[in-house]
Amino acid sequence: MTAPPVSAPTAPGGLPDLRSLSRSELQALVARMGEKPFRARQLQRWLHRNGAASLDEMTDLSRGFREALRRHAALTTLTAADERRSSDGTIKWTWRTADGRLIESVYMPETDRKTLCVSSQVGCALGCTFCMTGTMGLTRHLTPGEIVDQVHRANRRLIELGEGPGPRPLTNLVFMGMGEPLHNYEHLKAALDLLLDEDGPNFSHRHVTVSTSGLVPVMRRLGEETQVKLAVSLNATTDAQRDALMPINRRWPIGELLRACRELPMRQGRRITFEYVLLGGVNDADEDADRLARLLHGIPAKVNLIPYNDNPGLGFRAPSPGRAEAFLERLVARQLTAVIRKNRGRDIAAACGQLAAEGARGAGAPGPAGNAPLTGPGVPG
């Protein structure tokens, strides 16, 4: 049941990228170099537990070994292109990749958990009509190293900001940033393996959620090959409605999507989260709520209602005042577990579906009012 081997991504320059290598690939590399096996574990801990940004930080590795490593592999690290802090504690980082692409991660602190929303691709190919990332198209998949490094850079910066104890202030991860994680499954799986490893940040699968627009065959694989939690972006209750919002529905319509959900191997007490973006006048009527309750009947489900976050120019609007609450009440009356997702970081355009790095949005995109980019350690002024 293991995933096929990931062809190790290379860093610019053609050498394999150390941060993308799995535990066994690191072991093989160390063996090829004629080094003792324990070096692989040391390396993995530096790379993924401490989030080392460079080989120079790995002070307990001999200079000779580090020099040899430089000949065999490269180490890429994301750099902060921007950091914006919201009045509600949310922080949005824009990271620059080694080849100059921009991606975003969002930190959302709550009393009982500290969650990072992680990106899986530069842009997204799926073109949902209401989503800012969808308007960018897909530039490329992120490598496993780029996926996990968002977590490492955030942890490091959060320690600097006094947001929690090292080496890992973050408690939860959600793959709800830029991109469709299941469209980049091989790299997502490799990243999850690194993030859940005890010689890495050692996240519990209960604290990691992967969100998908509904790539049915890959959802099945994720269910078989991992134990992380699944969130499905349903967003509509009829195929006509969903076809218009999410082109992926023409490939895997609601019936097939929900059949796959019913068939997923579910651990005791687990539920699938269904995300439902409330679009004013489009999918937020009482009849939609009733249809939603009928569709989800019998599935261990939890519904996250997300009032639309405005993206000017896409032609959608948030539900009118009181509509989200009325929709919620109708679901609850039909025995569904449902919540309205809090809008976080709206003042810094960090909310769900608003991620699209400035560079890709084009020049002249308005900056967030009252939130000047911060300067500080790790953030280029």
Distance (Å, rounded) from C-alpha 259 to C-alpha 24?
36
Residue 310 CB, nearest distance to ligand SAH (Å)?
7
131 catalytic per annotation = no
Of the pair 115, 235, the CB lying nearest ligand SAH is at: 235
Nearer to ligand SF4, 134 or 319 (CB): 134
Candidates 155, 109, 118; CA nearest to 344 is 109
Provide the 10 A C-beta neighbour count for residue 109. 18
Tokens representing 178 are: 């830029």
Q: Which does 303 bind (CB under 5 to 8 A by kind): ligand SAH, ligand SF4, none?
A: none
| Residue with the shortest CB distance to ligand SF4 | 134
Residues 321 and 315: beta-carbon distance below 8 Å? no
Q: Which stretch binds ligand SAH (CB under 6 A): 106-114, 153-161, 349-357, 371-379?
A: 349-357
Find out whether 18 and 47 touch, Cβ atoms under 8 Å.
yes
CB of 242 to ligand SAH, least distance (A): 11
Binding site for ligand SF4 (CB under 6 A): 124, 126-128, 131, 133-134, 179-180, 213, 233
State in angstroms the smallest separation of the CB of 329 from ligand SF4.
26
Q: Does 103 bind ligand SAH (CB under 6 A)?
A: no
Q: Which of 113, 135, 117 is nearest to 126 (CA)?
A: 135
Which of 149, 180, 197, 288 is the binder for ligand SAH (CB under 6 A)? 180
Q: Site for ligand SAH (CB under 6 A): which residue of 44, 94, 150, 235?
A: 235
Report how far Cα 250 is from the mean position of its chain's Cα atoms.
24
Spot the catalytic one: 25, 104, 146, 180.
104
The nearest distance, CB 88 to ligand SF4, in angstroms, is: 23
The kind and range of the H/E element at 339 are strand 337-340
User: Distance (Å, rounded) from C-alpha 10 to C-alpha 369?
Assistant: 39
Site string for ligand SAH, 63-102 (x = CB under 6 A): ----------------------------------------
What are the structure tokens assigned to 256, written together?
């097939």
Query: 141 exposed, middle or buried (CB, 10 Å; 0-12, 13-18, 19+)?
Result: buried
- How many residues bind ligand SAH (CB under 6 A)? The answer is 18
Q: Which is nearer to ligand SF4, 50 or 211 (CB)?
A: 211
- On whether the CB atoms of residues 177 and 104 are closer than 8 A, the answer is yes
Partner interacting with residue 154 (select from ligand SAH, ligand SF4, none; CB below 5-8 Å by kind): none
CB of 69 to ligand SF4, least distance (A): 36
CA separation (Å) from 297 to 48, 149, 196, 285, 335? 41, 39, 32, 19, 9
Q: What are the structure tokens assigned to 185, written together?
A: 């499954």
Strands (DSSP E) contained in 188-245 are 208-212, 229-233
282 binds, among ligand SF4, ligand SAH, none (CB under 5 to 8 A by kind): none
Is 104 marked active-site? yes
**φ/ψ of residue 212, rounded to 5:** -135, 150
Is the Cα dihedral 40, 46, 52, 55 positive or negative?
negative
Q: For residue 297, how far is the Cα from the chain centroid? A: 28
Binding status of residue 104 toward ligand SAH by CB under 6 A: no
Question: Between 154 and 277, whose beta carbon lies closer to ligand SAH?
Answer: 277
Site string for ligand SAH, 305-344 (x = CB under 6 A): -x-xx-x---------------------------------
Query: Taking the complex as a whole, how short is the minimal distance between the CB of residue 351 and ligand SAH, in angstroms?
Result: 7
Which residues are annotated as catalytic?
104, 352
